[in-house]
Structure 1
Amino acid sequence: MEPPSDRTDVPGSMQGSDQQSELTPGTAGSAHRVQCPSLSQVLSELASLPPASTLAAIEPLPSEEQKNLFESLQKSLKAAENANILDALKDTPDILQKLWKCRSPYLVPAAEAMANGSRAPLWRVSYGKIGVFNFFLQLIASKETIDNRVILHALRLVGNSCADTNDNREIVVEHNYTAAILQHSSNPELIQVVIPVLYNICIDFGPAQTQLAADKIVYILLKLVKDGAFKDNDALLDYVFELVELVGEQGMTSPPLLQFNANYVASTPARFSGLVSGLATYLNNTRFQEICISNYIVPNILAVLSRSLTFNTESSGEDTQALAQSRLKINQILAEISGSTSFAQYYPLDSPLAQSLKTWLTSTEDQLQICSCVILGNLARSDATCERMVQDLRIHEELISVLKSDVRGAVLHSALGFVKNLAIAGNNRLVLGEAGILPAVSRLWQYESVPQVQFAATSIARQVTVAAIDNISRLLEGLARDGTDSNDERTYLSLLLALFQKTDSTPIKTEIGRTVASICRTLVPKSREGDPTAAALLSRFFDLHEDIALPVGAMIAQSQWPVVRSEGWFAMALMASTKAGAMAVSRSLQKMQILPLLEETLSAETSESTEETEQMQAKKDRDNISVLVQELLKSDVSLFSKFEIPTMIDIDASLPARHACRNR
């Protein structure tokens, strides 16, 4: 983790509930949408691809000879049941060729008999070796008009022969017969066979999946689904969505899934989840994300998320889990897409999409709230946009309501990320403070189940108090008595200090320290200038919080971020310039064992190879330590232990010499 200083992408997250939602995102830029080619256009492009058929020309043959050929083929098939398959079937390719040459009506029963034989696993490799498999592939690829019954059995044979048989699959892929098979998908008499054949070819066989992806199978299948080609055929639809998921992971050359509304193509949780898996695979590709943005397809993805909430999954735990994973994937996709620098250009704050997302902030669906926070939060990249969101659209009021509600940690995390971006705009801090952001986040400082929520809530306290004396005053407001016997007045800052003592998280400890340091940077200079409000707040700051300097000590004690350590030295020196602050600093030096770090920093040598920025930072640290030591020695010596006093005096005495040595 790096100490936050700039706007960040708002994190997307986790699964939500399954209640139905009627919210549908608005559309934008419909005139610029991608034009989807027709199915016939896509299939005609496939027709121009190889393979070219090498089947012989027509040679007429008497009917009696045709009958004899068919009977001979039947005998060969019968013999193969009890003899060596290769020997028994060696003449069948020649018989099939002759039946084809004369366009014999016996080719239909011959093809059926051969397809029936392909059911036997031992026959499949033999079909490939002797040329039977290749013969039927060429029939499938032929540009001639062939009896549908012949093509049906040819497809059966190819599908059976490819089941768990990579040798035959390699033949299909080598000559791109997948394109030829796909062309028959527009034939309603063959579609019920084409789909299982394609499934058998590509299941557990990557090369076929890659080739089918290049052949635009996903687009073709979804177009067929949308056009009702699989109506009332649930078994076939299951194959279709498995194919979409399988092939979506291979050879991505175009984003077909972006064109289709999930309401058209997924009627069950399993099919929907398969579709989303394919969609996620495509949209993990940056190029497709940009296509999605520039062609105004993001509303379609939002519709997919909304659609996921309409399924009834009460009877199936498996469906519930699959849908939850689907929602997670969709929101992760949307987080990446909305994080693109081009997103705001196509979906500005006044777009229908942004306006619909604003309504999702108050949804009862976790994932819609997360989605809204993520996308709108990623739109909050400039001060002007953030100020408009807060001062014109009043989005912060809905976010504060979310933070005060009993929503899940994932929603809180996303909402906090959004607020964090809004708070960076200086003019928003006062508005956020007036709206009650500090009480809202203060309850989340105890949110131990999700440390990311604790940290984000802590970070917001720092951000809204930077150079904002009104919000510092709110942080120092007294809290209602908690029912204990203690008479000590407690403030919101007291809650932060309690979290500091309790947590083991270095980032959280450091962030609390940065909050304390920021308050010092605002109050101490103003108090010196005679500002009565700042002086009163500074007294309250030190008087009510005995261990106020401990978090600053933690900034110095940590070694992960040198810039934070430097910030700590400066804040400690600033604190020590006041009497009450010097007392707090002395306690911190003792409890946090800072003196050894102080000596180590002063004695550290910088070589010539050290970067200039590091040298400058080291010099600033030494200067701040010098001020710190001198301010402490001006204060009451009784603040220090008898062991620390000599050390402090020695350090102070050595400072001029050390500076002189380094400045030669």
Structure 2
Amino acid sequence: MAMSPEDVAALLQREGSGLSPDAYDETPQPDAARQQRTEALAGILESCQQSLQQGSGQLEAIANNLGDGSRDVAWRLPYGESGILNFFLEILGAQGVGHGVKVHALRIVGNSCADTDENRARVVEGNHLTSVIRQLQDDELIPYAIPVLYNILVDYEPAQKLASQSGLNTQLISLLASPNLPRYAPLVTYFCKILALLITQDGEADVASPITVQVLLTLATGPLGKDDVDEFMALVSTAASYLANETFQSSFITGQQMDVFMTAFYLAHTHFDSEQLEDEDTAKLLKRLRTALLTTLADLSGNDAFVTYYPLNSSVPQSLLAWLQGANPQLQSAACLTLGNIARSDEISLALVQTHQAHRPLINLLSNPAITDAQQLHSMLSFLKNLAIPAQNKPLLGDLLEDTRVPRILTLDTLPQVQFAAVSLTRLLFVNCPPNVRLICAPRNTDPSEQPNEHTSVHDIISLFGRSDAEPTKLEAARSIASICRVLHTTPVLPLLPEWDPSQDGYVFEPKEPLPPSVENGSSDERESRMRGLFYQKHDLSKVLSFLVTQQKWPILRSEAWFVFALMSRSKDGASVVASTLVNAEATDALARAITGQALVTNGDEQTKQIESVASVAGSDTAAITDGLGLEPQQVDPKQQANMARVDRENCLVLCTEIVKNSGSALTSAQLGLLQDLIRQGTDMISQEKAQG
């Protein structure tokens, strides 16, 4: 006998748990309880089938009671095992079924699938998901269908995969873009949750609507998102999830949709104050969203197509330049990161400095001692590093080398990553740039009435090298010093270094041009050597420079150092510095390896015998040995690493020969003999190579 709706309601109440979903725990239930409930539903299923066949009006009432009963967790599995769930899934796919029945069918499906993988599997394996998705075509069913879809998909990957393949994204985006959106606006967060699940599936980017991100961000930046922080975060975070996919990144850029992203980014940092949000969890989510958006902005601006569709005069770069001028540290950091990604060509870097003056606000910020935030400082310095690469920009960025700007960052030992960025930028600024070397070698500014201050930023670099435990930082500091030495030995020193002023009987760090008549004696080379010598007396470079040739990780940088050493050794002052560098046993060993390919013998009597054997040639003219080879200092081409060993040998022979010639009298007999022996071995090897070549 068919059961009435009242009978159904009574059975469900009598046999149910009577507990809320949060309070129900199936564990202490008797083993037979679920089976008993499943069997009890057989009569209800039969009544549903009869009512459907007869077309009576009772099906809607029974479905309503089953929908109410499905809120009891105890009925979830029995609904699936008894066939009740499958019956109403088929109802959703049938034609001519009343609207009311479908509403309750959706309730039954949604509640039965909540946290119940067995029932979710029944939906997927029976290919019923498309029937549920089809209900989105009915505006009145959307408020029911959306939560049902979420319950089926959440935490169940097979359903997510099928939903993606079934084109659920397109349906949802179409609804979000519809003028009817206000009718189901309260469900927008569920739309976003479902979309966030879909994008985790392989192939979703290929089948999803190409306007997905644009629609989400448009809603986020409109009244719907701006008026509610939760709605805003749901929409923007979902958009960011899709933009993590390279396919969407490319289409977003080529579709020139970046402006709406920039608006969303700006609102995330200015419209909502994470410090003033009452809910602590919401505040944390907002901070997390900001981090995600920064990653997304970096990915987008790092795309090769970005600069094509967004040249510097277009809206997006102009917004970034405006952020640099503003007062929001997070926007400034984001602008630095993005513009740094854009500035990957000399053409753009030159325009950013010479046309758009992008470095000006950063100079002001770096001058502010109150700014110690690691992210802000690091982003500024990293951006400036890109701007400092083109040779034409270096002199224009020289103001950064004022002691209250980048040099002050070198003293921030609590921010090692920032220190590294600062010393890297410093090095770039005076690579082959005499005007900037002049600045770095100048003393601290002092009151004219006070005694001259002999402390320079070069001292700060040397000090950082000594204090830092980070090998990359030590390396950049050492490279910086080598770059200074290279400029000092390839450019007239007169405009670069401070002078000796006899009237004050002191070293005056206030360059004057030209030299006063009182010191106009001797040749130009002698004057330059004397001025460099005074500079080297004030700055002990031996430990810093020896690090470059003793480190093993970067052979190309060791080769660069040998080249600089060879340049320096051609003058008495430079040769003295290189000789002091080679006092380090490891540096001498590196020199021997570069010339002969073998290390020096360093153990006891054998070393003594070696030194004694070469000391006997101390008085010979080793310069004549290498003159015939016509060797000159030469820089290694990183693209021709196969020639690195040959170039290193020749540069090291040049420096050995020049040290013997320019500083031989200051060397011990053992040191002098060792250099001469290396010269003989090296020239023999080069002669043999040429003969064989």
Identify whether the pair has TM-score above 0.5, normalized to the shorter chain: yes
Q: Could you say which residue in structure 2 is the equivalent of 1:171?
A: 122
Q: Is the 8 A contact 1:373 1:414 kept in 2?
A: yes
1:99 and 2:59 are equivalent in the alignment: no
User: Which of 147, 156, 166 is matched with 1:196 structurally?
Assistant: 147
CA distance in 1, matches of 2:446, 2:254: 56
One-letter identity of the residue aligned with 1:505:
A
Q: Structure 2: how far apart are the matches of 1:412 and 1:388?
A: 23
Aligned partners of 1:327 and 1:367 also within 8 Å: no
Contact 1:542 1:584 in 2 (8 A): no
Cross-structure match for 1:18: none
| Structure 1, 392-401 or 226-235: larger mean CA deviation | 226-235
Q: What is the rounded CA distance, in whole Å, between the counterparts of 1:106 and 1:662 in structure 2?
A: 103
**Counterpart of 1:493?**
458
Distance in 2 (alpha carbons) for counterparts of 1:141 and 1:77: 26
Contact 1:547 1:587 in 2 (8 A): no
**1:567 and 2:523 are equivalent in the alignment:** no
- Given the alignment of the two structures, is residue 394 of structure 1 paired with residue 392 of structure 2, yes or no? no
Cα-to-partner distance string for 1:129-176 (whole Å, 9 max, x where unaligned) = 3322111011122343x3332112111111121122212111222344
Pairs within 5 Å for 1:548-587 = 548-587=541-580
Match of 2:78 among 126, 146, 158: 126
1:598 to 2:630 alignment: no
Contact 2:562/2:648 (CA < 8 Å) preserved in 1?
yes
Cα deviation code 1:399-448 (max 9, x no counterpart): 22232234322122222222222222222222222576775211111232
Q: Give the whole-Å Cα distance in 1 for the aligned partners of 2:167 and 2:122.
A: 20
CA distance in 1, matches of 2:193, 2:266: 22
Answering whether residue 481 of structure 2 is matched by residue 516 of structure 1, we say yes
Indicate conservation of the 8 Å contact 1:70/1:110, yes or no. Answer: yes
Greater RCO structure (CA 8 Å; 6+ sep): 1
Specify the code of the residue in structure 2 equivalent to 1:509: K
Q: What SS does the aligned partner of 2:586 have?
A: coil
Question: Which range moved further: 148-157 or 255-264?
Answer: 255-264
How many angstroms apart in 1 are the aligned matches of 2:558 and 2:240?
42
The question of whether the paired residues in 1 share the 8 Å contact of 2:4 and 2:62 is answered with: no
1:207 aligned onto 2:184: no
Q: How does 1:265-664 map to 2 (within 5 A)?
A: 265-266=224-225, 267-309=227-269, 310-313=271-274, 314=276, 315-405=278-368, 406-407=370-371, 408-433=373-398, 440-480=405-445, 489-527=454-492, 540-544=531-535, 545-591=538-584, 593-604=586-597, 613-637=640-664, 639-640=666-667, 644-660=671-687, 664=692
Flag structure 1 segments of 5+ consecutive residues without an equivalent.
1-64, 606-610
Distance 1:213 1:514, change over 3 A: same
CA RMSD in angstroms comes to 3.5
Match of 2:508 in 1: none
Deviations 1:105-142 (A, max 9, x none): 10111112222333343433332233221110111223
Q: SS where residue 571 of structure 1 aligns?
A: helix
Contact 2:177–2:215 under 8 Å retained in 1: no
CA contact (8 A) 1:301 1:330 kept: no
Give the C-alpha shift of residue 644 in structure 1: 3.3
Alignment of 1:169-248 (within 5 A): 169-185=120-136, 187=138, 189-217=140-168, 220-221=171-172, 224=175, 236=187, 238-248=189-199
| Contact 1:377–1:418 under 8 Å retained in 2 | yes
Return the TM-score normalized by structure 2. Answer: 0.77
Counterpart AA for 1:581: G
Count of equivalent residues:
593
TM-aligned CA deviation for residue 457 of structure 1: 1.8
Q: Distance in 2 between matches of 1:646 and 1:152?
A: 99
Which residue does 1:6 correspond to in 2?
Answer: none
TM-superposed CA distance for 1:240, in Å, is 4.3
2:201 aligns with: 250
Q: Take 2:585 and 2:301, find their aligned partners in 1: how far apart are those partners?
A: 43
Paired letter, 1:160 = N
Distance 1:349 1:133, change over 3 A: same
Measured in 2, the distance between the counterparts of 1:228 and 1:409 equals 46
1:464 & 1:357 partners in 2: Cα distance?
24
Structure 2 residue ranges without an equivalent (≥5): 17-32, 497-512, 515-523, 599-637
Cα 1:518/1:150, change in 2 over 3 Å:
same
- Whole-Å Cα distance in 2 between the matches of residues 343 and 528 of structure 1? 44
1:149 pairs with 2:176: no
Structure 1 residue 318 displacement after superposition:
2.6
Change (3 A) 1:437 1:188: farther
Give the equivalent residue in structure 1 for 2:620.
none
Q: Identity, % of aligned pairs?
A: 30
Going from structure 1 to structure 2, the CA distance change for 1:244 and 1:438 (only over 3 Å counts) comes to farther
Aligned partners of 2:253 and 2:300 also within 8 Å? yes
Q: Greater shift after overlay, 629-638 or 77-86? A: 77-86
Q: Specify the structure having the higher radius of gyration (Cα).
A: 2
Instruction: Report the Cα offset of residue 573 of structure 1.
Output: 1.7
Structure 1 residue 622, shift from structure 2 partner? 0.8
Contact preservation (8 Å) 1:429, 1:465? yes
Distance (whole Å) between structure 1 residues aligned to residue 109 and residue 444 of structure 2? 78
* Cross-structure match for 1:62: none
Bigger shift: 632-641 or 617-626?
632-641
What is the rounded CA distance, in whole Å, between the counterparts of 1:542 and 1:142 in structure 2?
96
Give the Å deviation of 1:335.
Answer: 1.0
Q: Distance in 1 between the 2:152 and 2:532 partners?
A: 73
Give, in whole Å, the separation in 1 of the partners of 2:477 and 2:585: 15
- How far does the alpha carbon of each residue in 1:446-499 deviate from its partner, in whole angstroms, 9 at most, with x for none? 2323323222222222222222222221121111359xx997712222221221
Q: Give secondary structure in 2 for the equivalent of 1:104.
A: coil
C-alpha separation in 2, matches of 1:259 and 1:78: 45
Q: In structure 1, how many angstroms separate the alpha carbons of the residues matched to 2:325 and 2:298?
A: 19
Closer/same/farther in 2, CA of residues 351 and 71 from structure 1, 3 Å limit? closer
CA offsets, 1:263-286, max 9 Å, x none? Answer: 245454444444343223222211
Query: How far off its partner does 1:561 sit?
Result: 1.1
**Distance 1:233-1:560 versus aligned 2 partners, 3 A rule:** same
Counterpart of 1:593 in 2: which secondary structure? Answer: helix
> What's 1:28 paired with?
none
Distance 2:299 2:148 in 1: 37
CA distance in 2 between counterparts of 1:171 and 1:450 reads: 56
Amino acid at match of 2:544: P
Equivalent position SS for 2:312: coil
